């Protein structure tokens, strides 16, 4: 079971579609920020989560910090288009 977390709907769709094509993986939910993702993790109990870093309300780094207190957090794959020049 996978959860796709990204504030951009296009990326949620692209990543979700790609994951759903992989054998043995089913996307069970999406979230557009870390706060919503945290709630969905508790109810959906995904094994895998793709995570963007830069999001409103609770960003990916803050969500990773919250996951540290969980007994069995999902495996996290960071998928981000965040770029800084300089």
User: What residues are paired with 2 via a beta bridge?
Assistant: 27, 48
- The pair of three-digit structure tokens given for residue 80, joined into one six-digit string: 């981000």
Task: Give the distance between the most distant pair of CA atoms in the chain.
Answer: 41
Tens of pLDDT, residue by residue over 61-83, are 999 999 999 999 999 999 887 66
CA nearest to 48, candidates 83, 3, 14: 3
Contact yes or no for 53/10 (Cβ under 8 A): no
Strands (E), the chain: 2-5, 27-31, 48-51, 75-78
Task: For domain 2-78, give the CATH number.
Answer: 3.40.50.2300
Each residue's pLDDT tens digit, 21-63: 999 999 999 999 999 999 999 999 999 999 999 999 999 999 9
* The pLDDT of residue 85 is above 60: no
């Amino acid at each position: 079971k996978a959860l796709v977390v990204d504030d951009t709907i296009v990326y949620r769709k692209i990543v979700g579609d790609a994951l759903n094509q992989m054998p043995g993986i089913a996307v069970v939910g999406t979230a557009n920020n870390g706060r919503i993702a945290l709630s969905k993790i508790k109810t959906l109990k995904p094994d895998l989560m793709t995570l963007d870093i830069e999001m409103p309300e609770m960003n990916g780094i803050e969500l990773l910090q919250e996951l540290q207190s969980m007994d069995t957090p999902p495996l996290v794959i960071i998928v981000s288009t965040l770029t800084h020049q300089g």
